[in-house]
Structure 1
Amino acid sequence: MQTTTAAPEGQPLNLLADWISRDQLAGELGVASDTLARWEARHEGPPCTRIGRKVFYRRTSVEAWIRAQEQVCPAPKTRGRR
């Protein structure tokens, strides 16, 4: 369990330190923001959170989603009899 420490007096907390925006994630993945929006609508992409009109993704959730997308390559099909 992570513990949060209070920011020094006069300095604001960085509440979104572990989160990235849809545009930032789109750039990281090399896809369009619209693709992420479409995945969200289809419940296919990484989990996200909405704050007003903005969409944010938790970095650890995105990493877990990427790991879940990993596929084992199937053995190549052969033609004819062996």
Structure 2
Amino acid sequence: MSTIESENDALVPRAQVALENGVSTKTIRRWEQEGQLPPPVRISSHAYHSRKSLNAWIARKVAGAPLEEARRAGRESAKKPAVTQ
């Protein structure tokens, strides 16, 4: 696997993300644009994803909570006033 190691996390190239998910890099770009995949870290002209954010994304997918639904739920709860008694 091709990664760039950092102190707290590994950065995974977009092509590796595509390979690990069985899709094309074009699909990965589309998922990024649609907000289905966390945004990449850009270094020069290259795009990388942190291993930590990818693992969290996969866990949400396995649990059945797509990223956009989680974002929407967070926005909705922020709009609702707190109930006080």
Structure 1 length normalisation: TM-score?
Answer: 0.63
2:38 to 28, 43, 46: 46
SS for the counterpart of 1:47 is coil
60, 63, 77: which one aligns with 1:68? 60
Name the SS for the 1:44 alignment partner.
coil
Structure 1 residue 24: Cα displacement: 0.7
Q: Is the 8 A contact 1:26 1:36 kept in 2?
A: yes
Are 2:17 and 1:25 aligned?
yes
Runs of 4+ aligned residues of structure 1 deviating over 2 Å after TM superposition are: none
Aligned-pair identity in percent equals 33
Deviation, 1:22, is 0.3
Q: Does 2:48 correspond to 1:56? A: yes
- Number of residue-to-residue matches in the alignment: 58
Write the deviation string for residues 7-54 of structure 1: whole angstroms up to 9, x where unpaired: xxxxxxxxx211110001110110100001011111111332111211
- Structure with greater helix share of residues: 2
Q: Which runs of 5+ in 2 are unaligned?
A: 66-85
Question: Radius of gyration: which is bigger?
Answer: 1
Partner SS state of residue 36, structure 1 = helix
